[in-house]
Amino acid sequence: MRSQKTIQQAVAISGVSIFTNHDANVRFLPADEDDGIRFQRVDISHSKPIHARIENAVFRHRRTAIEFEDASVEMIEHVMAALTGLQIDNCLIEIDGPEMPGFDGSSQLIAEALLDAGIVEQTTLARCFRMQKSVNVEQDRASIVGEPNDGLKIDYQLEFGDGSPIPTGQLEFTITPETFINEIAAARTFVLESEVEAMRSLGYGKKLTAQDLLVFGQDGVIDNKLRWPDECIRHKFLDCIGDLSLIGCDLDGAFHAIQSGHALNREMVRAILASHDSEQRQRDAA
């Protein structure tokens, strides 16, 4: 058991969004106990804060987004990973556009800003969802199995197949603030060079270069250097942490993921909650 946490003071960061090409300004603000993580569009008059929970999640290609009434915020997964990884339970994030900045494609700059703001304990105990049974979700070649566990543990298997310049591999981490900062936070978004061309045709990434994330050509990373040989797998951990946090509290479980992405990560959250609701109904009927 641990106490809830928030940040000590407001902190601001800014950058360019990947998909909507906005120059976005973001402020992280302290929040009261049990407020949770909320995003607010300050560029939309009278918009209400959007709770970062699975019931507010909406589909967007290659990213996670939340929506409530007339406002939405896209690509929140790297912010959510930083908040969850640092065990910050309560925070209001103000943004003046539709999408969080991409920064360098990782959570590092976000985590550094939050650490600079200071993290303070609150009096109320943090809530934790403890998995009671195994849950499985799959789609095409991707799958996730979640099992009961003390604490949050993830192992991820990445395999794009023969001939892909993205390295195949497998890693496992028990997620703690120390592990997140030292092993995961700096892992950047990666794409294939062919995917970049397709994304640009859709209007994405107009303000980005190959130095703003990891772009893989047939001979490896273009105009950039890997921070770890297995940086791509580590970034998948970052995405999993951010997406699973949409359960709305700490999560105790062991997750075995193969080639999963944002949509399947979110589906795992829905499956966990559906399994819990089913068990509760059975207990109530007994």
Q: Is the pLDDT of residue 278 over 70?
A: no
| 120 and 198 assigned to the same domain | no
CA pair distance 71, 94, nearest whole angstrom:
12
| 136 and 118 assigned to the same domain | no
What confidence tens digit (pLDDT) does each residue in 209-248 have?
888 889 999 999 999 999 999 999 999 999 999 999 999 9
Contact criterion met (CB below 8 Å) for 152 and 171:
no
CA pair distance 2, 53, nearest whole angstrom:
21
CATH number at residue 39: 3.30.230.20
| 132 and 257 assigned to the same domain | yes
Phi, psi for residue 86 in degrees, rounded to 5: -90, 5
| 111 and 164 assigned to the same domain | no
- Residue 264's domain spans which residues? 128-285
User: Which of 95, 125, 155 is at the close of a domain?
Assistant: 125
What confidence tens digit (pLDDT) does each residue in 85-129 have?
999 999 999 999 999 999 999 999 999 999 999 999 999 999 999
Q: What pLDDT sits at residue 241?
A: 98
Q: What pLDDT sits at residue 143?
A: 98
> Shortest CA distance to 267 belongs to which of 76, 131, 158, 137?
137
| 258 and 143 assigned to the same domain | yes
Q: Is the pLDDT of residue 160 over 90?
A: no
CATH number at residue 132: 3.30.1700.10
- Given the residues 78, 256, 262, 276, the one annotated as active site: 262
> Shortest CA distance to 26 belongs to which of 14, 39, 35?
14
Taking residues 182-192, what's their average pLDDT?
A: 96
User: Which of 108, 125, 142 is at the close of a domain?
Assistant: 125
| 117 and 140 assigned to the same domain | no
Q: Is the pLDDT of residue 280 over 70?
A: no
User: pTM above the 0.85 mark?
Assistant: yes
| 135 and 257 assigned to the same domain | yes
| 53 and 93 assigned to the same domain | yes
Residue with tokens 């095409």: 140
CA pair distance 200, 221, nearest whole angstrom:
18
Q: What pLDDT sits at residue 167?
A: 87
The answer to whether residue 235 is catalytic is: no
Classify the C-alpha dihedral 42-45-51-57 as positive or negative: negative
Q: What pLDDT sits at residue 211?
A: 84
User: Which of 125, 151, 185 is at the close of a domain?
Assistant: 125
Contact criterion met (CB below 8 Å) for 79 and 93:
yes
94-106 burial, b at 16+ Cβ within 10 Å, e below that, comes to: bbebbbbbbbbbb
Total domain count, the chain: 2
Taking residues 72-93, what's their average pLDDT?
A: 98
Q: What pLDDT sits at residue 279?
A: 56
| 118 and 154 assigned to the same domain | no
- Can you read off the two tokens belonging to residue 209? 């270069």
Average pLDDT score, the chain? 94
| 278 and 144 assigned to the same domain | yes
| 193 and 215 assigned to the same domain | yes
| 106 and 137 assigned to the same domain | no
Q: What pLDDT sits at residue 204?
A: 84
